[in-house]
Amino acid sequence: MGRYSVFSLVTQGFLGHGGWKPVWRQPDPKPAYDCVIIGGGGHGLATAYYLAKEHGMRNIAVLEKGWLGGGNSGRNTSIIRSNYLYDESAAIYNHALNLWETLGRELNFNIMMSHRGVINLAHDEGEMRQLKRRIEANRLNGVDSEWLDAKQVQEFCPILNVSADIRYPVLGGTLQRRGGVNRHDAVCWGYARKADEMGVDIIQQCEVTGIRVEAGAVTGIETTRGSIRTPKVASVAAGHTSVIAKMVDLRLPIESHPLQALVSEPIKPIHPCVVMSNAVHVYCSQSDKGELVIGAGIDAHVSYTQRGSLDIIEHQMASLVELFPIFSRLRMMRQWGGIVDVSPDASPIISKTPVKGFYVNGGWGTGGWKATPGSGHVFAHTIAHDEPHPIAAPFAIDRFHTGRLVAEHGAAAVAH
């Protein structure tokens, strides 16, 4: 496979761009693999990439029921940050942020990583104290984080309404300068291209319908494209995690909800960073194409329909217009929903299970995108060694039995 560089671009320019080759194969499933990963989104492809690169497991497959990155990887608002409260969370999200910084070079693929800064707003004194506490916790964990008062917030993001006469005035906010956004499709394609190069079979339009378990251990998997023998199955199925777990009679502390996002018509660059508000409840950034990318809340009921309720986005738009009056006449162009797997403590589950050879990576809820490389990296270690990576260990399913929860509701962007 060719390496992407300015020289390949210029050469192809002279050749009329006729020489670009597909960057991954479309293989048929083999009868057996060393490991099968269910889910061809960012987390699944990252898992496959690190399994092949760091653990030498190259006879593996990624099964995707639709197309690569067509689920939540293509539906999120691509916000990257690591300013979580607890040590366990700071470890995994900062691990991911460190990997994001060099991922484009590592994958030889432009993931359009932009460290433009993420602001989390405070609208009352309680929230202000809570956010300042989080800043101190972040600093102790080596996560960059700083406090901005209302004036500094406005200097950083001039279009934000910080006047005192709105219903929930902006009192200040935290800023993580290393935070930002990137291009989600490019991340999936970059991981897929490199994983394929190392021999990983990426099989799209192949849905898992059952998992064979004999004497408490995984022996194979049933799909719409035939049976596959494998001693290891790793579920990275996001909203469908419970559906996959049910195939091995495993109940998880996860509920699936629709989460919506929308984009506006494209406008000239005006929004310099990412602004998130938990209290007024909206988060917003501007893509390089010029569209505002806006997200907010989940529907409260369990649902697997990839849409959402209108009252949720009405609330989200009201919040947006209060914080950014300048956007009040902007038209919204597209709206969509994705199914998020919400865990009771707003932290993920990266874990071995009572079924030998069945691994779960899920429960990322509304904020999984930022963790993609870190999640894949520690999950690959967990699968390859059949022992949790030290960073993944606190996120085992057992925590719901022992009570060692990692309650991150305050740092998660979406209230649930």
Partner 1 sequence: MFLIPCPYCGERDQSEFANAGEAHIARPVWRDDMTDREWADFVFMRTNTKGLFAERWVHAAGCRKIFNALRNTATDELLAVYEVGAEPPEVETVLPATPSGEALGSGNDAVKIIASGGSEKP
**Residues found near partner 1 in the complex (CB under 8 A):** 65-67, 70-71, 205, 207-209, 224, 240, 242-244, 251-256, 300-311, 336-337, 344, 400-403
Structure tokens at 283: 């988060």
Structure tokens at 216: 């408490």
Which lies closer to partner 1 via its Cβ, residue 131 or residue 252?
252
In 3D space, the residue among 239, 293, 230 whose CA is nearest the CA of residue 265 turns out to be 293
Which lies closer to partner 1 via its Cβ, residue 214 or residue 402?
402
Minimum distance from residue 107 beta carbon to partner 1 (Å): 24
Main-chain phi, psi angles of 341, to 5 degrees: -100, 100
Which lies closer to partner 1 via its Cβ, residue 98 or residue 306?
306
* Residue 340 burial (CB count, 10 A): 26
Minimum distance from residue 402 beta carbon to partner 1 (Å): 7
Minimum distance from residue 382 beta carbon to partner 1 (Å): 21
Between CA 24 and CA 35 the distance in angstroms is 19
Minimum distance from residue 242 beta carbon to partner 1 (Å): 4
Minimum distance from residue 204 beta carbon to partner 1 (Å): 9
Minimum distance from residue 172 beta carbon to partner 1 (Å): 32
Which lies closer to partner 1 via its Cβ, residue 176 or residue 260?
260
Q: Angle of helix 184-197 relative to helix 42-55, nearest 10 degrees?
A: 30
386 class by beta-carbon count within 10 Å (0-12 exposed, 13-18 middle, 19+ buried): exposed
Which lies closer to partner 1 via its Cβ, residue 219 or residue 306?
306
For residue 236, what are the contacts with CB-CB under 8 A and spacing of at least 6? 37, 38, 39, 41, 43, 44, 47, 361, 362, 379
Structure tokens at 189: 């394609």
Minimum distance from residue 251 beta carbon to partner 1 (Å): 4
Q: Quick one: which H or E segment has residue 386? A: none
Angle, alpha carbons 354-400-358 (nearest 5°):
25
Minimum distance from residue 274 beta carbon to partner 1 (Å): 25
Which lies closer to partner 1 via its Cβ, residue 208 or residue 280?
208
Which lies closer to partner 1 via its Cβ, residue 185 or residue 207?
207
In 3D space, the residue among 216, 167, 202, 198 whose CA is nearest the CA of residue 36 turns out to be 202
Minimum distance from residue 211 beta carbon to partner 1 (Å): 11
Per-residue burial over 229-268, b if 16 or more Cβ lie within 10 Å, else e, is ebebbbbbbbbbbbebbebbebebbbbbbbbbbbbbeeee
Structure tokens at 289: 């194409």
Handedness of CA 389, 85, 313, 309 (dihedral sign): positive
Which lies closer to partner 1 via its Cβ, residue 208 or residue 355?
208
Which lies closer to partner 1 via its Cβ, residue 161 or residue 227?
227
